[in-house]
């Protein structure tokens, strides 16, 4: 059954408020990476439009075919990772992440259940090892 969930459309503080800046840890993404991303498994926890200057993208090593102010539709997932789509006649896909997680040791919280927590941002996820 289809379920419609409410999605936050305010820019999370972690995305930065400066107009024209790239998204954090932004990098090109292939169409197959998009298909394998959380975009097809999870409802985004936040989404929005961000305007990024092509010169600011070049400054972080991202080359795009068009110049000027570019519009990106972005979707961010529970773990702070996200997908951004460039609005153009030939859309281009980018990934970003509010944190490059560094998980500490897994902690046993149940019979076959462990929790791993990022040492940088404290994001945690449960890992079921029962297979």
Beta strands in the chain (DSSP E): 27-29, 46-53, 69-76, 81-86, 92-97, 107-108, 113-117, 124-128
- Rule CB under 5 A: say whether 14 interacts with Zn ion: no
Q: Which stretch binds Zn ion (CB under 5 A): 2-10, 19-27, 61-69, 116-124?
A: 116-124
- Rule CB under 5 A: say whether 62 interacts with Zn ion: no
Torsion angle, CA of 92/98/102/107, rounded to 10 degrees?
-110
Binding test (CB under 5 A) with Zn ion, winner from 57, 70, 92, 101? 101
Nearer to Zn ion among residue 48 and residue 80 (C-beta): 80
Chain positions contacting Zn ion, by CB under 5 A: 99, 101, 118, 120-121, 123
């Amino acid at each position: 059954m289809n379920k419609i969930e409410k999605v936050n459309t305010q820019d999370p503080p972690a995305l930065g408020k400066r107009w024209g800046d790239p998204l954090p840890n932004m990098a090109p993404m292939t169409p197959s990476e998009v298909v394998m991303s959380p975009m097809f498994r999870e409802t985004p926890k936040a989404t929005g439009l961000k305007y990024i200057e092509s010169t600011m993208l070049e400054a972080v090593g991202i080359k795009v075919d068009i110049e000027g102010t570019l519009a990106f539709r972005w979707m961010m997932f529970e773990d702070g990772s996200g997908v951004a789509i460039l609005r153009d006649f030939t859309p281009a896909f980018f990934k970003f992440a509010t944190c490059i997680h560094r998980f500490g040791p897994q902690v046993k919280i149940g019979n076959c259940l462990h929790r791993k927590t990022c040492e940088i941002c404290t994001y945690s996820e449960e890992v079921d090892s029962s297979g």
